[in-house]
Amino acid sequence: MTEHLGAFAAAPRDLHAFIAGLPKAELHVHHVGSASPRIVAELAARHPDSKVPTDPEALVDYFTFTDFAHFIEVYLSVVDLIRTPEDVRLLTYEVARDLARQQVRYAELTITPWSSTRRNIDERAFMDAIEDARKAAEAEFGTVLRWCFDIPGEAGLEAAEETTRLATDDRLRPEGLVSFGLGGPEIGVERPQFKPYFDRAIAAGLRSVPHAGETTGPETVWDALTHLRAERIGHGTNSFQDPKLLAHLAEHRIPLEVCPTSNIATRAVRSLDEHPIKEFVKAGVVITINSDDPPMFGTDLNNEYAVAARLLKLDAQGLADLAKSAVDASFLDEPGKAGIRNEIDSYTSAWLAP
Ligand X SMILES: O=C(O)c1cccc(C(=O)CC[C@H]2O[C@@H](n3cnc4c(=O)[nH]cnc43)[C@H](O)[C@@H]2O)c1
Residues involved in catalysis: 214
Candidate ranges 85-93, 107-115, 120-128, 311-319; the one touching ligand X (CB under 6 A) = 107-115
Q: Interaction with Zn ion in 321-350: which residues (CB under 5 A)?
A: none
Of the candidate residues 98, 223, 292, 304, the single one contacting Zn ion (CB under 5 A)? 292
Residue 306's alpha-carbon distances to 13, 15, 168, 254, 265, in angstroms, are 10, 8, 38, 23, 17
Amino acid 140 reads E
Q: Containing H/E element for 273?
A: none
Give dist(CA 227, CA 346) in Å, integer: 41
Min dist CB 292 to Zn ion, Å, is: 5
Give dist(CA 87, CA 82) in Å, integer: 6
Residue nearest to Zn ion (CB): 292
Task: Print the binding letters for residues 251-290 with Zn ion: x by CB under 5 A, - otherwise.
Answer: ----------------------------------------
Please, which residue, 188 or 354, has the CB nearer to ligand X? 188
Residue nearest to ligand X (CB): 184
Please, which residue, 103 or 215, has the CB nearer to ligand X? 215
Candidate ranges 35-43, 73-81, 165-173, 240-248; the one touching ligand X (CB under 6 A) = 73-81
Do the Cβ atoms of 75 and 97 come closer than 8 Å? no
Please, which residue, 292 or 304, has the CB nearer to Zn ion? 292
Min dist CB 324 to ligand X, Å, is: 25
Give dist(CA 50, CA 143) in Å, integer: 32
Min dist CB 75 to ligand X, Å, is: 5
Give dist(CA 181, CA 210) in Å, integer: 4
Give dist(CA 223, CA 202) in Å, integer: 16
Candidate ranges 6-14, 68-76, 130-138, 249-257; the one touching ligand X (CB under 6 A) = 68-76
Q: Which of 166, 203, 164 is nearest to 182 (CA)?
A: 164
Candidate ranges 124-132, 146-154, 237-245, 309-317; the one touching ligand X (CB under 6 A) = 146-154
45 lines the binding site for ligand X (CB under 6 A): no
Query: What b/e string do you get for 150-167 counting C-beta neighbours within 10 Å, with b at 16 or more?
Result: bbbbebeeebbebbbbbb
150 lines the binding site for ligand X (CB under 6 A): yes
Residue 322's alpha-carbon distances to 99, 100, 161, 280, 353, in angstroms, are 18, 19, 36, 13, 20
Min dist CB 64 to ligand X, Å, is: 16
154 lines the binding site for ligand X (CB under 6 A): yes
Of the candidate residues 20, 69, 76, 338, the single one contacting ligand X (CB under 6 A)? 76
Of the candidate residues 4, 23, 33, 91, the single one contacting ligand X (CB under 6 A)? 33
Candidate ranges 125-133, 149-157, 170-178, 282-290; the one touching ligand X (CB under 6 A) = 149-157
Query: By three-state DSSP, how is residue 41 classified?
Result: helix
Min dist CB 290 to Zn ion, Å, is: 8
Do the Cβ atoms of 107 and 294 come closer than 8 Å? no
Sequence-separated (6 or more) residues with CB below 8 Å from residue 188: 154
Do the Cβ atoms of 323 and 351 come closer than 8 Å? no
Give dist(CA 159, CA 118) in Å, integer: 9
DSSP class of residue 204 equals T
Number of residues that bind Zn ion (CB under 5 A): 1
Q: Report what 33 binds from ligand X, Zn ion, none; CB cut-off 5-8 Å by kind.
A: ligand X
Residue 348 CA, distance from chain mean position:
25
Min dist CB 235 to Zn ion, Å, is: 7
262 lines the binding site for ligand X (CB under 6 A): yes
Q: Report what 9 binds from ligand X, Zn ion, none; CB cut-off 5-8 Å by kind.
A: none
Give dist(CA 12, CA 24) in Å, integer: 19
Give dist(CA 286, CA 326) in Å, integer: 9
List interacting residues with ligand X (CB under 6 A). 30, 33, 72, 75-76, 79, 110, 112, 115, 150, 152, 154-155, 183-184, 211, 214, 262, 292-293
